[in-house]
């Protein structure tokens, strides 16, 4: 196997500055999606399903001290929610985009780390 010494690391700065066609000039966001809530089906031992919270995601949310705004993307499966969420983040590799007819992101996801906007207004 050849060494990777001849390859530059992935740098999206030029991609962003020269008109990110994917996100339409939207600022590239570092990080990635993390599942906040997961639905676990019922079983023989448990008649009903349950909603589980990801402790790692909960810790991220509990560390936020500023007011927050939530941007959500909802809809039926296989309708482009993950694609649109990627566009909002100015990237094409955040949320997984599956090729099949089955949905590939189940539950509620958030972006980690959350991104901050500076705003003169306090509300």
Domain boundaries, the chain: 34-112
> H/E element holding 53?
strand 50-53
Say if residue 8's pLDDT is above 50. no
Nearest to 73 by CA among 89, 59, 49, 50: 89
Whether the CB-CB separation of 91 and 117 falls below 8 Å is answered with no
3 state DSSP class of 86: helix
Q: How far apart are CA 17 and CA 26, in angstroms?
A: 10
How does strand 50-53 pair with strand 108-112?
unpaired
**Residue 95: is it exposed, middle or buried by C-beta count within 10 angstroms (0-12/13-18/19+)?**
buried
pTM for the structure as a whole: 0.60
pLDDT one-digit tens code per residue, 24-48: 555 666 777 888 999 888 888 888 8
Q: Is there a cis peptide before residue 12, judged by omega within 30 degrees of 0?
A: no
Query: What pLDDT score does 27 carry?
Result: 64
Share above pLDDT 70 across residues of the chain, in percent, rounded to a whole number: 62
| pLDDT band per the 50, 70, 90 thresholds, residue 61 | very high
Q: What tokens does 58 get?
A: 């909960």
């Amino acid at each position: 196997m050849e060494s990777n010494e001849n390859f530059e690391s992935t740098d999206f700065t030029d991609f962003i500055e020269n008109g990110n066609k994917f996100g339409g000039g939207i600022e590239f966001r570092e990080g990635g999606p993390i599942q906040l809530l997961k639905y676990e089906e019922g079983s023989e031992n448990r008649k009903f399903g349950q909603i589980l919270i990801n402790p790692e995601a909960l810790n991220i949310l509990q560390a936020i001290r500023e007011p927050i705004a939530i941007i959500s993307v909802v809809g039926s499966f296989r309708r482009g929610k993950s694609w649109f969420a990627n566009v909002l983040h100015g990237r094409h590799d955040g949320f997984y985009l599956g090729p099949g007819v089955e949905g590939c992101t189940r539950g509620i996801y958030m972006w980690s780390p959350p991104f901050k906007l500076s705003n003169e207004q306090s509300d």
